[in-house]
Amino acid sequence: MAFDASTPNSLGFAKPPSETRVVVAMSGGVDSSVVAAQLAEEGYDVVGVTLQLYDHGAALAKKGACCAGIDIHDARRVAEEMGFPHYVLDYENIFRDAVIDEFAESYLGGATPVPCIRCNERVKFKDLLATARDLDADCMATGHYIQRKMGAAGPELHSAANANRDQSYFLFSTTPEQLDYLRFPLGHLPSKDATRALAAKYGLTVADKPDSQDICFVPDGNYAAVIEKLRPGAAEPGEIVHADGRVLGSHKGVIHYTIGQRRGLGIGGLDEPLYVVRLDVDAKRVIVGPKSLLATRTIPVREINWLGDAAFESRAEWHVSVKVRSTRPPREAVIRPLSATEAEVELLSPEEGVSPGQACVFYETGGSRILGGGWIWRGH
């Protein structure tokens, strides 16, 4: 059957799939493997690319962390099964400079960083995307659960159809230029079961592979151990102090604590439950207090990536909904721009455990569109 040039193909190009080259970012997991297999079956000129980001003994043999040795092997095998070329790019130095070093410095500064966002922003959607262009690809596809929809002003970013799989919090820093080039074929699927069913349909060996849970360079979830390895001497002891000034005990390093933490403080026997409400890195103090002190209404945000149709500074206020942690639902808020990349966000109802280093992601209230986001910091 001849291709109808007046009707775009499934990736939005007015040419046959066989003449459309797509680079698929393959992590070795089931999601990106299904994307590659599906596009290959549809007849696209698929090129699989896997990044070697971090490879040490623990990650090499661990199935729960992405971008390690076993995942590279799995990605290569899927490419062989489906009959398309596959390349492995050594991005370890780039990843260390762009992601790991900042993660360590941010954590040492008492923040709670989200390195997966920086990896998407500075590695996958920057250097890898540039590599895809160098390969003369028409677009780059990933296995992220998010949707790209065409709007009146061009491509828009929308939440995944399945709220439980939605990864929009980790992709808020995608720029309009990147969005123009990217494709997310899984964003419309109703469940992860649907993805695994497709993997089984294509006969992929990764169909039953478990999801990655950990940050790739923290394969056992022990952040503090990684920080001590990256920055020897970082775990210096200090005092645990109540917000009212009372010294309640001692700790073995601020890096072992996060804002909102309640368990494992080592200060039992008190009448009231206490939470970490602040980390004073310079004084080596962990400040604790009642849950009420965790409530925040005003959040300073910087490094804003704006995806709205009108310019960010074109209004004094934007009425939106925001997420301050990936696991929480959006809350209604008012954004007041201070510049093109800085703003004050006022939550209509207080949120607990807002932490510097986390992202604040902007959503259209009552809709699925992502309007951008920025990074929470302490303010001046």
Here the tokens at position 288 are 């604790």
Domain 17-202 carries which CATH code? 3.40.50.620
- 30-41 and 69-82 are packed helices; what angle lies between their axes, rounded to 10 degrees? 20
- The verdict on whether 119 is a catalytic residue reads yes
pLDDT along the chain (380 residues), means of 10: 73 97 95 97 97 62 54 93 94 91 88 89 93 97 97 96 95 96 97 95 91 77 83 86 94 88 82 89 92 94 97 98 92 97 97 90 97 87
pLDDT value, residue 281:
85
Whether 216 is catalytic: yes
pLDDT (0 to 100) of residue 305: 98
Q: Which CATH class is domain 235-289?
A: mainly beta
- Which of 66, 67, 116, 119 does the annotation list as catalytic? 119
Annotated binding residues for ATP: 25-32, 51, 143
Q: Looking at 66, 67, 139, 216, which residue is catalytic?
A: 216
Q: How many whole angstroms separate alpha carbon 321 and alpha carbon 328?
A: 12
Confidence at residue 1, expressed as pLDDT on a 0 to 100 scale: 53
Could you tell me if 110 and 279 are in contact, meaning their C-beta atoms sit under 8 angstroms apart?
Answer: yes
DSSP state for residue 86 in the 8-state scheme: E
Q: Annotated binding site, which residues?
A: 25-32, 51, 143
Q: Are 49 and 133 contacting, i.e. CB atoms less than 8 angstroms apart?
A: no
- Closest by CA position to 319, among listed 295, 337, 299: 337
Q: What are the sequence ranges of the domains in the chain?
A: 17-202, 235-289, 296-376
CATH topology of domain 296-376: Elongation Factor Tu (Ef-tu); domain 3 (2.40.30)
pLDDT at res. 62: 46
